[in-house]
Amino acid sequence: MRINFNEIEEQKVSGMNGGTGEMSAKMFMNENGKIIPCRIHAGGSIGIHTHKTSDDINYILSGSGKAICNGVEEVLAAGICHICPKGSEHSIINTGDNDLVMLTVVVER
């Protein structure tokens, strides 16, 4: 299967899951999950939410931030992968002056 993200329209989302600021994302979705190249803009965050049916895998491409997963804070930077397992809750916060750029893969199980 080939997915051409150049052909997928980027969406802007404000206050994702009750977070702050804005993020931009392109999304591929099917019954097995989602693949989402995305950017949390400076000052933005994804609010705390629970993954009831899926694992959420976030690979950081650039920028700096932090994830809070089940109350444990993790520092995020390029080359770091944050995984929120099924049944866990997490949030992701951009702590830098530039976009926090990541590739998110949501695996339904």
Asked if the structure places residue 2 within a domain, the reply is no
Asked if the structure places residue 70 within a domain, the reply is yes
Total number of domains in the chain = 1
pLDDT at 55: 97
Asked if the structure places residue 67 within a domain, the reply is yes
Asked if the structure places residue 31 within a domain, the reply is yes
pLDDT tens profile 45-82? 999 999 999 999 999 999 999 999 999 999 999 999 99
Asked if the structure places residue 50 within a domain, the reply is yes
Asked if the structure places residue 5 within a domain, the reply is no
Asked if the structure places residue 94 within a domain, the reply is yes
pLDDT at 74: 97
The CATH number of whichever domain residue 70 belongs to comes to 2.60.120.10
CA distances to 19, 28, 38, 67, 91 from 70, in Å: 16, 27, 23, 10, 9
Using a pLDDT cut of 90, give the percent of the chain over it: 100
pLDDT tens profile 5-29? 999 999 999 999 999 999 999 999 9
Domain that residue 34 falls in: 11-108
Q: How much is the pTM? A: 0.94
